[in-house]
Homo-oligomer: A and B are copies of this chain.
């Protein structure tokens, strides 16, 4: 071997060592997402009816965001926004993909999904040397071409659809949609045993065990507490003070909380807790009608643009790096997760001009005292909303637009549109200017569902609206 070659080999070894050392310094990222939970249905959010001891413990170690927003009031678009860091309407992912409920115009069935020209945060974290895994619900398309293992995730254990039974499908619990089948990796379908919420956590724990020496990204995407309403007898016992769906929801939430606890315990057990950024949030507001979730003090539900549809619980913990048991009170968005995760992984989000989210770290650490977002937008077809500072305009297809001061009126009961017509006009213009930058929807639900959405909102709107 020539001296020259030896030198190069030594250099490569040194670089590898530096890289490994550096890799170990990169924090693990554990992103835990619940599904359809109510804003008020956690101990750390003030619930006295529900029990979430593990999340409450996490909250004490976390920054709690009091004004965290999702980018859509339903699961699919909201997750598309989180995964790409962009307003999902920019690439036509404006509505839920629910085969069987769609209009005949546009993409149909399994062809609806996160466009393959969009990279996910998992794609980017892989480039940063992360091992990436998704456990649970995908909902970004049922066709093989949209599969998590083709969208940046090294490992996948879960289901492709939007919701499924917590119990194994068998002759007594019949599978009706292919996308509900449990799958490990690509195409390996095998139903689990026991209660799915526990199983997802167990899979995450195995993954942590296997991957503790490299930085990893876990997207722990519970279907809990989405319908169907299925809880174990053991968990139901804790809620004798509740009845009906509300009781079942409480038990489902407790199971999820316990499962989250086991994952967080495993991080500690492996000595990884100090170097792991943990985020917990929820994909959209609680569908009070479907699962009796409680969005108090917010008006509205899943699928509408009142706060109850788009504001979610949000915790972020990173021991030693972020102050624990604090709150952050300016509005943030789940679009911010992408740049925040990328940057803690030593990436550079400022190079990605497509991003609508911002890196939250400088804000949370107090290095930047401005608002992360002066303006946030929401849109599904004609229905849309804009929040500019503390003003919020909601535009409807079936009634005049409403204006609220969110700071003074968190429950959106005092419509100020008639008192501030100039503000209404100003926000209308700003909303429309944003809309002009968007793509048309790639698919759309049948029109009748817009009617249901309006009724659903009215049913759960606080009643003393002016």
Q: Which residues of A contact B (CB under 8 A)?
A: 92, 103-106, 381-382, 395-401, 417-418, 421, 424-425, 428-429, 431-433, 435-442, 444, 446-448, 450-451, 454
Could you show 22 A-B contacts with beta carbons less than 8 Å apart?
A103-B439, A103-B440, A104-B440, A106-B440, A397-B428, A397-B431, A397-B432, A397-B435, A398-B429, A400-B424, A400-B428, A418-B418, A418-B421, A432-B454, A433-B451, A435-B447, A435-B450, A436-B448, A437-B447, A440-B444, A440-B446, A440-B447
Q: When chains A and B are docked, how far (Å) is the Cα of A148 from the Cα of B414?
A: 56
**Smallest CB-CB separation from A399: which chain B residue?**
B428
Q: Name the B residues within 8 Å of A436 (CB-CB).
A: 447-448, 450-451
Determine the chain B residues whose CB is within 8 A of the CB of A399 once the complex forms. 425, 428-429
Q: Is the CB of A401 within 8 A of B400?
A: yes
The chain B residue with its CB closest to the CB of A395 is B397
Minimum CB–CB distance for A106 against chain B, Å: 6
Q: Which of B398, B428, B439 contacts A104 (CB 8 A)?
A: B439
For the complex of A and B, 3 pairs with smallest distance between CB atoms? A398-B432, A103-B440, A105-B440
Tell me the complex Cα distance, A441–B424, Å.
29
Bound CA–CA A418/B395 (angstroms): 17
Cβ contact within 8 Å between B447 and A438: yes
* CA A418 to CA B438, docked complex, whole Å: 31
Tell me the bound Cα distance from A424 to B401 in angstroms. Answer: 11
Please tell me if the beta carbons of B400 and A421 are within 8 angstroms of each other in the complex: yes
A435 CA / B104 CA spacing, docked (Å): 16
Q: Taking the nearest CB of chain B, how far is it from the CB of A427, in angstroms? A: 10
Which of A382, A417, A440, A451 has the most chain B CB atoms closer than 10 A to its own CB? A440
* A442 and chain B: residue at smallest CB distance: B105
List B contacts of A433 (CB < 8 A): 451
Please give, as numbers and ranges, the residues of chain B lying within 8 Å of A435 by CB-CB distance.
397, 447, 450
In the assembled complex, the CB of A88 is this many whole angstroms from the nearest CB of chain B, namely 13
Q: Which residue on B lies nearest to A445, using beta carbons?
A: B440
Q: Are B400 and A400 in contact (CB under 8 A)?
A: yes
Q: Smallest Cβ distance from A246 to chain B, in angstroms?
A: 31
Q: Which residues of B lie under 8 Å from residue A441 when comparing CB positions?
A: 105
Partner of A106, one of B106, B431, B448: B106
**A104 surroundings in chain B (CB, below 8 A):** 92, 439-440
A380 smallest CB distance to B (angstroms): 11
Q: How far is the CA of A339 from the CA of B436 in the complex (A)?
A: 39
Instruction: Give CA–CA (A447, B435) in the complex, Å.
Output: 8
Pick from A397, A418, A442 the residue with the most CB of B within 10 Å.
A397
Other than the given A104-B440, A399-B429, A433-B451, 6 more pairs (CB < 8 A) read A105-B106, A397-B431, A400-B400, A400-B428, A438-B447, A440-B447
Q: Which of B400, B439, B451 contacts A447 (CB 8 A)?
A: B439
Contacts of A424 in B (CB 8 A): 400
B residues within 8 A CB of A103?
439-440
**How far does the alpha carbon of A130 sit from the alpha carbon of B83 in the complex, in Å?**
60
Q: A428 to B451: give the CA distance in the assembly, Å.
A: 13
Across-interface contacts of A442 in B (CB, < 8 A): 105
Q: Shortest distance in angstroms between A357's beta carbon and chain B's nearest beta carbon?
A: 22
User: A425 to B397, alpha carbons, bound, how many Å?
Assistant: 11
Of B425, B439, B444, B454, the contact of A400 (CB 8 Å cutoff): B425
Query: Which of A398, A437, A442, A446 neighbours the largest number of chain B CB atoms within 10 Å of its CB?
Result: A398
Instruction: Give the complex CA separation of A3 and B437 in angstroms.
Output: 80
Q: Which of A103, A105, A428 gathers most chain B CB within 10 Å?
A: A105
Closest residue of chain B to A449 (Cβ to Cβ) is: B436
Cβ distance A442 to chain B, nearest Cβ, rounded Å: 5
Chain B residues, CB < 8 A from A440:
103-106, 444, 446-447
Which residues of chain B are near A418, meaning CB under 8 Å?
418, 421
Q: Which residue of B lies closest to A92 (CB)?
A: B105
The distance in angstroms between the C-alpha atoms of A382 and B382, with both chains bound, is 5
| A185 vs chain B, min Cβ distance (A) | 32
List residues of chain B with CB within 8 A of the CB of A454: 432
- Give the residue name and chain of the B residue nearest to A398 (CB): B432
Q: How far is the CA of A439 from the CA of B451 in the complex (A)?
A: 14
A382: chain B residues at CB < 8 Å are 381-382, 397
Q: What residues of B have a CB within 8 angstroms of the CB of A438 in the complex? A: 447
Query: In the complex, what distance in Å separates the CA atom of A433 from the CA atom of B450?
Result: 10
Q: Kindly list chain B residues whose C-beta atoms are within 8 Å of the C-beta of A450.
A: 435-436
B contact residues around A437 at 8 Å (CB): 447
